Amino acid sequence: MQRIIIFTYILFITCQNPFKTREAEEPSQQRTNREIPSDPETVLRNLQSAIVDMNVDNYMLCLLSAEKGFQFIPDPFVKENYPTLFELWTDQSERSYFSQLATYLPGDSLSRLILEVVSTEVFQDSALLRRKYELFLDHTYSGNVPKAANGQADFWLVQDEGYWYIKRWIDIGTSDTPCWSTIKAGFGK
């Protein structure tokens, strides 16, 4: 009995408050809604989820690597205004742009990508998904970068080792409002 009393006494002396709840820890991983890219449509859903979650790694998993041929073709008007920026645009340029964008999006910011089907052509190991898009990014960047963009994107996808990836992404502005290329130019500098 004496040992139990001594043990209890030492326990209470060394412990500041044994009944206090611990502080909550920050999540160790980013939120993710990523699906296995087993078909072309899943890649676009993953792209949408990566934007909502602002998850750079999941965004990059939608793209084929530059070594395997990834290309982004900007809107011609934007390319004319930023001729050298898009000349050597690679998957790493995409990572840089998206990472930079993520730093200007508060945690409670609402970002979303809405895609509307224009056409879909799926072949044995490639596909062309043409989509109208509306992109909303509630960023805090003070530079002259729009928070919304719309246009049309031609996503050429290929199958590589059983999974689908965007190989060629062509952005086409369709109105007087900014297109996705404008946002990439603003954060990709």
Task: Spell out the domains of the chain, with CATH numbers in brackets.
Answer: 37-187 (3.10.450.50)
- Six-digit token string for 117: 């089907």
Please report, for residues 67, 137, 161, 170, the alpha-carbon distance to residue 114 in angstroms, rounded to integers and kept in the order given.
29, 12, 28, 17
The answer, as to whether pTM is greater than 0.85, is no
**pLDDT tens-place string over residues 55-84:** 999 999 999 999 999 999 999 999 999 989
Amino acid at site 187:
F
**pLDDT tens-place string over residues 96-137:** 999 999 999 988 888 999 999 999 999 999 999 999 999 999
Number of Cβ within 10 Å of residue 106's Cβ equals 9
Going edge to edge, which strands form the sheet with 148-160?
A: 71-73, 163-173, 148-160, 126-137, 111-122
Dist. CA 93–CA 173, nearest whole Å = 20
Number of Cβ within 10 Å of residue 31's Cβ equals 11
